[in-house]
Structure 1
Amino acid sequence: MSAHRVRRPTEDAAVARTARRPEYRLPAVFADMTTANRLNDREGLRLLACRAARAVNPGVGA
């Protein structure tokens, strides 16, 4: 029995997508932070603060 690699296009696409860093738009992040604040979502605020830092400085968290 030979070992052939099964081609999985969706797997290849997922790996390619994760290799790219997402771009965060600062106005959208601030809008989400406002929503999280109104909902008293402290963890959401923390995560969005990290996204805001990445939007300003792409080297953060690399």
Structure 2
Amino acid sequence: MRYFWTFFWSFLLVEMLAYVVSSMSGATFDYAAAAVVSLVVSILIIVLAAVVPNQPVEKH
């Protein structure tokens, strides 16, 4: 379920960001390109969450 929500929120946020940036720059909004970028962002977030340790570091 966490993979679904990761993809869902990254999809919404990247689409929104692409729309706002394309509007501000005067370019056309490309839905497909933003969807591909959101998929890449989702994969990066999932990989980053798997790599970062979840346990606190012991003090020596």
> What TM-score range do you get, normalising by the shorter chain?
0.3 to 0.5
Using structure 1 for the length normalisation, give the TM-score: 0.33
Larger Rg: 1
* Structure richer in helix, relative to its length: 2
Using structure 2 for the length normalisation, give the TM-score: 0.34
